[in-house]
């Protein structure tokens, strides 16, 4: 029997589900140290994302009938997320991976190849940083590597109007132009 070839956007959604599972587990594990909740938008800004994420989110928003009219574009600064309305994300179900990990302790390698930890300034205020380990932090490099490889596949299989380099990023607010 012939196996159906996976579409990069379907693979992206599967990766997003894995990120959600890890994020949920870490959120439960660190619940007493997280201040993140609906209404907190300290981390919300106009991130730039890889084309595979951009077009996957666009596809989902269009399929749900999301309209540009739902956005509050007036009074926004360039760095503000246009999908933030009344301190809540209007595309929460479709938000990018970076938004799915906010507030969690993120473990990654810096430019010098050393491990570094990043957390929200509001979280872990009464937590000893020495207690962080690979088991209780989000492995950012692992998931970013998988996302990068999916994006490479997406670009290789893209239609003619979608010419991107593998390091190209698209600002999230550009989604409004396509809705």
pLDDT digits (tens, 9 = 90+) for 28-41: 999 999 998 888 88
Any idea what the Cα angle at residue 59 is, between residues 96 and 91, rounded to 5°? 45
Q: What is the DSSP letter of 117?
A: E
**What pLDDT was estimated at residue 86?**
87
Residues 6 or more apart whose Cβ sits within 8 Å of residue 151: 8, 50, 51, 52, 53, 166
What is the pTM (predicted TM-score) of this model? 0.88
Cα gap 6→16, rounded to integer Å:
15
**Interval 135-141 mean pLDDT:** 93
Evaluate if residue 53 carries a pLDDT over 60.
Answer: yes
Residue 174: exposed, middle, or buried by beta-carbon count in 10 A (0-12, 13-18, 19+)? middle
Q: Which of 68, 54, 61 is nearest to 172 (CA)?
A: 54
Q: Once rounded to an integer, what is the mean pLDDT over residues 86-110?
A: 92
Q: What is the pLDDT of residue 160?
A: 56
The answer to whether residue 158 scores a pLDDT higher than 90 is no
Q: How far apart are the C-alpha atoms of 28 and 76, rounded to whole Å?
A: 33
Instruction: Give the pLDDT confidence score for residue 139 in this predicted structure.
Output: 94
Instruction: Indicate the pLDDT class of residue 101, thresholds 50, 70 and 90.
Output: very high
- Give just the sign of the alpha carbon dihedral 66, 68, 74, 77: positive
- pLDDT (0 to 100) of residue 169: 96
């Amino acid at each position: 029997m012939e196996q159906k070839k996976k579409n990069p956007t379907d693979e992206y959604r599967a990766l997003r589900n894995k990120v959600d599972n890890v994020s949920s587990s870490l959120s439960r594990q660190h619940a007493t140290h997280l201040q993140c909740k609906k209404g907190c938008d300290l981390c919300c800004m106009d991130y730039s994302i890889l084309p595979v994420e951009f077009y996957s989110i666009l596809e989902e928003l269009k399929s749900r009938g999301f309209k540009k009219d739902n956005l509050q574009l007036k009074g926004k600064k360039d760095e503000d997320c246009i999908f933030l309305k009344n301190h809540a994300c209007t595309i929460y179900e479709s938000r990018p991976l970076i938004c799915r990990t906010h507030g969690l302790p993120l473990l990654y390698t810096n430019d010098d190849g050393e491990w570094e930890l990043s957390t929200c300034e509001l979280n872990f205020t009464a937590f000893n940083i020495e207690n962080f380990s690979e088991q209780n932090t989000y492995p950012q490099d692992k998931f970013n590597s998988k996302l990068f490889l999916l994006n490479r596949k997406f670009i290789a299989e893209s239609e003619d109007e979608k010419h991107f380099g593998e390091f190209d990023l698209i600002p999230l607010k550009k989604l409004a132009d396509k809705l």
